[in-house]
Amino acid sequence: AQKITQTQPGMFVQEKEAVTLDCTYDTSDQSYGLFWYKQPSSGEMIFLIYQGSYDEQNATEGRYSLNFQKARKSANLVISASQLGDSAMYFCAMREGLDAGNMLTFGGGTRLMVKP
Amino acid sequence: DARVTQTPRHKVTEMGQEVTMRCQPILGHNTVFWYRQTMMQGLELLAYFRNRAPLDDSGMPKDRFSAEMPDATLATLKIQPSEPRDSAVYFCASAKDRGYEQYFGPGTRLTVT
């Protein structure tokens, strides 16, 4: 069974608008971490934001925020005020357990394209 | 600005040849991961090490792949013999136990013809 599901293979957004990228996860662990990574066309994996399962507040990092709905097992990424440089692949990932030394399981990714 | 480094960045080789990819984790990170990215399978874990000891290599084809950490500053992933289906981007990532983030290297893009 898929542990991380990203249902949007591709999305368009108008520059300066906000966009939400969906991610649902499946785990029976109580302790886990959720991540979003950005992969631009250059290929590197850039860490964007992290949410721990015990964090009560939604994580925010600049223009990125993570809409964490634990009961629904969703961890959507919200990008506010989209920029052309936001065009990239975005991956949601989960780590079971809170130890950074545990492996990440990735979703299939969403390709975001920002229109000028 | 500490980074994970990987060499080579690109490798083109013929089927049957040996390929060795190297990774230098961030100094002080004690956990190292190897991931592979393909269009068909996405990002998948191949192996990982903690304090240089292999913890999980179940994602790796054992007959042709091997991963080692000869010392704390070097991780290697070897394919022998290589096959066209091994063509992919191979990422190394490192982490500290008490942190939460895995830091990815730039990847090695492998093409096997």
How does pLDDT run across A86-104, given as a tens digit for each residue? 999 999 999 987 776 678 8
- How sure is the predictor about A7, in pLDDT bands with cuts at 50, 70 and 90? very high
Q: Looking at residue B2, what is its pLDDT?
A: 83
Contact yes or no for B102 and A106 at CB 8 A: no
Contact yes or no for B33 and A103 at CB 8 A: yes
Contact yes or no for B100 and A45 at CB 8 A: no
Task: Please give the structure tokens belonging to residue A8.
Answer: 């949007």
Half-sphere exposure of B100 (CA within 13 A, CB side): 19
Q: Looking at residue A1, what is its pLDDT?
A: 58
Contact residues, chain A, for B44 at CB < 8 Å:
106
Is residue B43 less than 8 Å (CB to CB) from chain A?
yes
Is residue B104 less than 8 Å (CB to CB) from chain A?
yes
Is B34 within 8 Å of B92 (Cβ atoms)?
Answer: yes
Q: Looking at residue A2, what is its pLDDT?
A: 67
Q: Distance from A80 to chain B by nearest Cα, in Å?
A: 23
Nearest CB partner across the interface for A103, out of B48, B99, B100: B48
Task: Please give the structure tokens belonging to residue B34.
Answer: 């190897």
DSSP string over chain B: ----EEE-SEEEE-TT--EEEEEEPPTT--EEEEEEEETTTEEEEEEEEETTEEEE-TTS-TTTEEEEEEETTEEEEEESS--GGG-EEEEEEEE-TTS-PPEE---EEEEE-
Q: What digits encode the pLDDT tens for the residues A40-81?
A: 999 999 999 999 999 989 999 999 999 999 999 999 999 999
Contact yes or no for B102 and A104 at CB 8 A: yes
Q: What count of CB pairs under 8 Å joins A to B?
A: 58
Higher-confidence residue of B99 and A36: namely A36
Is A40 within 8 Å of B106 (Cβ atoms)?
Answer: no
Q: Distance from B46 to chain A by nearest Cα, in Å?
A: 10
Is A11 within 8 Å of A109 (Cβ atoms)?
Answer: no
The whole-angstrom separation of Cα A18 and Cα B85 is 39
Contact residues, chain A, for B101 at CB < 8 Å:
35, 47, 50, 100
Q: Looking at residue A35, what is its pLDDT?
A: 95
pLDDT, one tens digit for every residue, chain B (113 residues) = 689 999 999 999 999 999 999 999 999 998 999 999 998 889 999 998 999 998 888 888 889 999 999 999 999 999 999 999 999 999 999 988 766 788 999 999 999 99
Contact yes or no for A47 and B101 at CB 8 A: yes
Q: Looking at residue B99, what is its pLDDT?
A: 64
